Structure formats: structure tokens, C-alpha cells
């Protein structure tokens, strides 16, 4: 009788649902209850964006990781984290010395296993992390990002698994981040791995969004999988993962050996998680994320990004409808816009080289699709706005794309004067730890136990500064107050009518990012930006947006005069919102 063990993806449960994760006091309450459930061999405690999220609400993630993992370490339950390979714990590439330090810190903090993935499935980005993790004494679980296309066949993944094992991977994970891996294909992959490498543990992780996951879990179980990632109510299903009760009952009936569930503890864990939602986490969970949708089968967007997608959609939705209202055209419902977005993702994905739609590349493809939809609704061409990070993906700076770029994308790159990169992505990002060490010494900041504070600063520089200054806590408290007020006002938000503007011929310069607006260098200036009334040429810099991962430049989409400013210096702008308005002009000689 084959035994299959369960891993509770407690970290991913929250991040697939909403914006934030539980505080340290909440984690300390639920950890003993998870242990009392008696059915989990592993628990996902940290990784992904979780530690950055701690900083965003003004708390230090290091004590959270140490305290949460300590409960499971004492109980003999393995802990694991999610690791983005070249990007480590953030959205952009990380220098190799910072990557190496991460594994030493996480091992010291009590994390047993690191699940390493590359959003492009480029083994070159995973191999160094395998070495770094093993050198630090961690179990290196190499993950393959599962998707479905002409490129991503069972043979593609079987070959990738062989490469990862040759690089020293201790375990293999099938990371089905969108849940669109077809069950039979997944079974073939697992069977091939277990036949060739019976001693290599295989774990399956599948979100439930499009509805395949339960069938997929049964197929991989029959094929020899060792571990299955599961969730529990009130966060299971929807954009999250199947509930442990359902999967345990299914496998038991199919003749597999599985652990029993202490239902009293399950109900208490369920109650506690709900109380965390009632406390503050629920204010940042979109109700749509509790629902499954077969619309995801075609576009393949992952469950873990649906929270951010719905937030992005809001700004674009308002922008499009303001334009349509001005043109006396029917406005779009949110559902109509969502379908247009999904269709656009499905259309452009192969043209962009079929990158697996997982962090951060799911965000890049979604961003391009969202901007395409918005511009096309306004009668402007597709590809009118592609942000810098998306271009880095297209140009190969983050790794090799699995598929082939469409001729129109290659032509657009040439038109912009961009060069394609074919080297090792890590070579673009030299070591940086000495810079952070020097600054910490100058500031009198402690490097922390096992250099954990040094690591946090080097990994999340901006967020760490905001945490240290108190700006993050202040900003979060304001955000929470606004979320509470919005909820009790039934979410009614007044949308400005563009027809009321003094400039009916103006068009908005729209932000493709969420962040703070920076007008030139007058960072503390709140009066009218110096660009107001200025003539700008197409592609000329208008302003910068300070995002959570760095500074992005916003350029003009045409020649014209800036005749209205919507965002003052330092104000937040949501993706899809207008920053300023420009009136098209023909440049005079």
C-alpha cells in the first residue's frame, strides 16, 4: 500500500487569497493547532512574497519565521519555503552573494526545505540555488513550473527533471501554479521520474482555480507521487488549493495509506484562520478569489496572482469606462473586462515566447495584456505600452524563453533599439553585500542573529528602509483604515467624469504600475510639478513611479502638451490610473 503524505501550504493559502499574511502572534496561535491535526508531514511556513509582505505592514519577518518554524521543528514536521531562483524572495534578480546568504539564514531560522523555481524553467537559474541550499544544509527541492502549450509537453518536463536531478536536486516538485496541468500529462511526468529515480521524492502543488486539481492529484498519486500540497477552510478551493479532507477521503477510498485527521483540531484551525480574516486580513481578500472559474483554462493565469489582478483591474476599469462615457459609448462591466483580459492573455502568450505564467512572468504578461486591452478600447494599437521588466523578459535578460517570439515582437524590439541577451542571467547582477554591510555599519544597524537583518536589508532594500523608519507601519494603518471604510460603504467609489474636465481633447498618461509618483527630483514638493504645461515629445520621460521593486520611468505616448496633473508628488497611483493628461500637438519646426 503506497503511502502519500500531506503538506499544508499555509503561506500560499493566504497569498493566493489576498495581499497580506498573518502576523507573528497569529502564527503562534495556529501552529500548535496545525500540529494537533496530526495529518501533516510538512508545512509551508515562509518564502515567496511573505517576508516582503511583513515589511509592508511594518513588521520584521525574521522573528515570524523563527517562531513559526520552531513549533514544527520540535514536533518533527518538516518546514518548507518558496524560492524564486534568480529572484530569490523578490520580483527582480538578486546578486549571487545575497542568494547564497539566504540559504544560510533560512536554515538557521529553522526552514528545512527550499522549493526552487525559475519562472522561465531555465535550469541555469535553478542550479546555483541547488548548490547554495545544499551547502547550507537545506533540502534542495527543484520545481518545474507546469503549464500547458505546444511547447510544454510531458517530454519537456521529463527532460527538465533529468537536468535538475543531474544538477543535484534532492527532490522534484511539480508546481502547477495555475492548476491547468492536465491530469493525464501530470501522471506521465511523475511516473517517468519515479521509474528512473525511485529514491527521489516527488511533490505536487496544484491550485484549484480552473478545477483540474482533484483529478490531477488522483493521477499523480497513481503514478507514484510522495507528497501532495493541500489547504484547509476557510481558504481552501477557489484560487487556493484543495482541502485536505477531500483529498484524504479520495485517496483512502483509492487504497492509499494516508494520515488520519483530528477533526476537532481542524475545526479550531478553521476558526482561528477565520478570526485572522476578521481581524484584518479579510479586508484585503477579493471575494472572487473564493470562486473557481473555467475561464482560467484558456489564459492559464495562476491562482496566486488573482488578488493583485483584481486590484489592477479596478484602476483600468475606471479609466476605460471614463473614456467610454466621454465618447457616449456603453460602459464595460467588470466581468466583460475580465473576459477581454483573459482572451488577450491567451492571444499574446505564445507571441511572447510562452513563458510559464508564474511570478514574476505572469505579472509581466498580465500587465502587457491589461495595457493592450485598455489602449485597444480607446482605439489605439496593441503593444502601445510595455514596461521595462517585461522587456527584460522578452530580451532574455531573465533567462531563455521556452517558446519563440513572434516576428512583430522582434520588430518592435529593433524599433526601440533594444538588444537581445543570450548569456547567463546572473552575470547581469554583480555581488552587493559589501554595500549593505557598509551602510548598516554607518547607520549603527545590527546585522542580526545569523546575519538575518543584513539579508533582509539586501533582499528587500526599499521595504526594509520603510520598516526601519516607521513609514511602512504608518502607510499600512492608513491603508487598513481606508479598506475598512470602503467595506462598510459597500465599496462605492466616486469615479470622476472626464467630460467635466476643462480639456475635452486631452488623453490620459496612464500608469502601468502601482506606486508613488516622483516628479523630477523635488521629492518633498507637493505643489504643481514643473512639467505642467510643458511640451513633451513621444517617449520623453514624464515622471517616475516608485514601485515596491524599484523605480520605473513613465514616458509620453505622443508629442503634446501636459495640460493637467492628476497625481501630486509622492501620491500613490494604481495601475491603470491617470497620472496626467496630454493634449496631442504636432511639433513645430
Q: What is the pLDDT of residues 146-156, one digit of tens each?
A: 999 999 999 99
Q: What is the pLDDT of residues 77-86, one digit of tens each?
A: 999 999 999 9
**Pick from 438-447, 503-512, 553-562, 576-585: least confident:** 503-512
Q: Are 269 and 232 in contact (CB under 8 A)?
A: yes
Q: Report the b/e string of 94-125 with b at 16+ CB within 10 A.
A: bbbebbbbbbbbbbebbbbbbbbbbbbbbbbb
Tell me the pLDDT of the chain averaged across its residues. Answer: 90
Q: Using the predicted structure, report yes or no on whether residue 532 has a pLDDT greater than 80.
A: no
What pLDDT, on the 0 to 100 scale, is given for residue 297?
85
Across the beta sheet with 507-510, the strand order is 507-510, 578-584, 560-565, 535-536
pLDDT bin (cut points 50, 70, 90) of residue 519 is confident
In tens, the pLDDT along 275-327 reads 999 999 998 888 878 888 887 888 787 765 655 666 677 778 888 888 888 88
The closest of 188, 190, 159 to 174, measured between CA atoms, is 190
Using the structure block, give the residue that is written with the C-alpha cell 496530526.
38
- The SS3 assignment for 19 reads coil
The predicted pLDDT at position 530 comes to 64
Chain mean position to CA 1: 38
β-pairing, 507-510 vs 578-584, is antiparallel
Instruction: Report whether 217 contacts 224 (CB < 8 A).
Output: no
Average pLDDT rounded to a whole number, residues 113-118: 98
Burial class of 259 by CB neighbour count within 10 A (0 to 12, 13 to 18, 19+): middle
Chain-centre distance of CA 214, in angstroms?
23
Whether 520 shows a pLDDT value over 90: the answer reads no
* Alpha carbon distance 310, 246 (integer Å): 28
The predicted-structure confidence for 220-247, as pLDDT tens digits, reads as follows: 999 999 999 999 999 999 999 999 999 9
CATH 2.40.50.100 fits 503-584, yes or no: yes
For range 425-453, the mean pLDDT: 96
Higher pLDDT, 551 or 219: 219
Per-residue pLDDT at 583? 87
Residue ranges, CATH 2.40.50.100, the chain: 503-584
Sign for the CA dihedral angle at 563, 567, 569, 575 comes to negative
Report pTM: 0.81
For domain 5-282, the question of CATH label 3.20.20.70 is answered with yes
For the residues of 444-492, what is the DSSP string, one character each? Answer: T----GGGHHHHHHHHSHHHHHHHHHTHHHHHHHHHHHHHHHHHHTTT-
CB 554 within 8 A of CB 544: yes
Domain with CATH 3.20.20.70 in the chain: 5-282
Residue 135 Cα to chain centre, angstroms = 27
Amino acid at each position: 500500500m503506497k503511502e502519500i503524505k500531506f503538506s499544508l501550504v499555509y503561506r500560499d493559502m493566504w497569498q493566493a487569497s489576498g495581499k497580506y499574511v498573518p502576523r507573528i502572534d497569529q502564527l503562534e496561535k495556529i501552529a500548535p493547532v496545525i500540529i494537533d491535526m496530526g495529518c501533516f508531514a510538512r508545512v509551508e511556513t515562509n518564502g515567496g512574497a511573505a517576508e516582503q509582505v511583513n515589511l509592508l505592514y511594518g513588521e520584521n519577518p525574521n522573528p515570524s519565521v523563527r517562531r513559526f518554524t520552531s513549533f514544527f521543528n520540535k514536533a518533527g514536521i518538516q518546514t518548507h519555503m518558496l524560492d524564486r531562483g534568480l529572484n530569490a524572495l523578490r520580483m527582480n534578480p538578486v546578486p549571487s552573494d545575497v542568494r547564497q546568504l539566504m540559504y544560510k539564514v533560512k536554515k538557521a531560522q529553522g526552514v528545512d526545505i527550499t522549493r526552487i523555481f525559475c519562472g522561465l524553467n531555465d535550469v541555469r537559474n535553478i542550479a546555483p540555488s541547488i548548490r547554495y541550499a545544499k551547502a547550507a544544509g537545506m533540502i534542495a527541492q527543484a520545481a518545474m513550473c507546469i503549464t500547458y502549450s505546444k511547447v510544454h509537453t510531458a517530454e519537456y518536463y521529463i527532460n527538465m527533471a533529468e537536468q535538475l536531478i543531474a544538477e543535484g536536486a534532492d527532490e522534484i516538485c511539480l508546481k502547477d501554479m495555475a492548476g491547468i496541468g492536465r491530469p493525464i500529462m501530470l501522471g506521465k511526468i511523475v511516473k517517468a521520474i519515479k521509474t528512473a529515480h525511485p529514491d527521489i521524492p516527488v511533490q505536487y502543488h496544484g491550485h484549484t482555480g480552473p478545477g483540474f486539481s482533484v483529478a490531477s492529484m488522483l493521477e499523480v498519486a497513481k503514478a507514484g507521487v510522495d507528497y501532495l500540497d493541500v489547504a484547509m477552510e476557510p481558504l481552501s478551493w477557489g484560487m487556493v488549493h484543495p482541502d485536505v479532507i477531500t483529498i484524504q477521503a479520495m485517496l483512502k477510498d483509492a487504497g492509499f495509506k494516508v494520515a488520519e485527521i483530528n477533526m476537532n483540531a481542524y475545526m479550531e484551525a478553521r476558526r482561528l484562520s477565520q478570526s485572522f480574516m476578521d481581524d484584518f486580513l479579510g479586508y484585503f481578500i477579493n471575494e472572487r478569489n473564493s470562486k473557481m472559474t473555467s475561464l482560467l483554462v484558456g489564459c492559464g493565469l495562476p491562482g496566486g496572482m488573482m488578488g493583485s489582478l483584481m486590484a489592477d483591474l479596478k484602476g483600468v476599469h475606471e479609466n476605460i469606462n471614463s473614456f467610454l462615457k466621454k465618447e457616449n459609448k456603453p460602459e464595460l462591466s467588470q466581468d466583460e473586462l475580465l473576459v477581454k483580459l483573459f482572451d488577450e492573455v491567451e492571444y499574446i502568450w505564445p507571441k511572447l515566447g510562452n513563458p510559464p505564467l508564474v511570478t514574476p512572468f505572469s505579472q509581466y504578461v498580465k500587465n502587457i495584456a491589461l495595457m493592450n486591452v485598455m489602449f485597444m478600447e480607446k482605439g489605439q494599437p496593441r503593444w502601445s505600452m510595455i514596461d521595462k521588466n517585461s522587456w527584460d523578459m522578452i530580451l532574455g535578460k531573465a533567462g531563455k524563453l521556452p517558446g519563440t517570439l513572434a516576428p512583430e515582437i522582434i520588430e518592435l524590439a529593433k524599433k526601440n533599439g533594444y538588444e537581445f541577451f543570450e548569456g547567463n542571467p546572473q552575470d547581469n547582477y554583480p555581488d552587493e553585500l559589501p554595500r549593505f554591510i557598509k551602510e548598516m555599519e554607518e547607520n549603527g544597524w545590527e546585522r542580526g542573529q545569523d546575519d538575518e537583518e543584513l539579508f533582509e536589508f539586501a533582499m528587500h532594500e526599499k521595504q526594509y528602509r520603510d520598516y526601519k523608519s516607521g513609514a511602512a507601519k504608518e502607510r499600512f494603518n492608513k491603508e487598513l483604515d481606508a479598506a475598512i471604510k470602503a467595506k462598510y460603504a459597500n465599496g462605492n467609489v466616486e469615479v470622476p467624469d472626464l467630460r467635466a474636465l476643462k480639456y475635452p481633447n486631452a488623453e490620459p498618461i496612464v500608469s502601468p504600475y502601482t506606486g508613488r509618483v516622483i516628479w523630477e527630483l523635488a521629492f518633498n514638493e507637493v505643489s504643481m510639478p514643473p512639467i505642467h504645461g510643458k511640451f513633451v515629445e513621444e517617449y520623453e520621460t514624464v515622471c517616475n513611479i516608485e514601485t515596491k521593486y524599484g523605480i520605473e520611468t513613465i514616458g509620453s505616448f505622443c508629442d503634446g502638451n501636459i495640460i493637467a496633473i492628476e497625481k501630486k508628488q509622492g501620491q500613490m497611483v494604481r495601475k491603470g490610473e491617470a497620472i496626467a493628461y496630454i493634449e496631442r500637438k504636432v511639433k513645430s519646426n
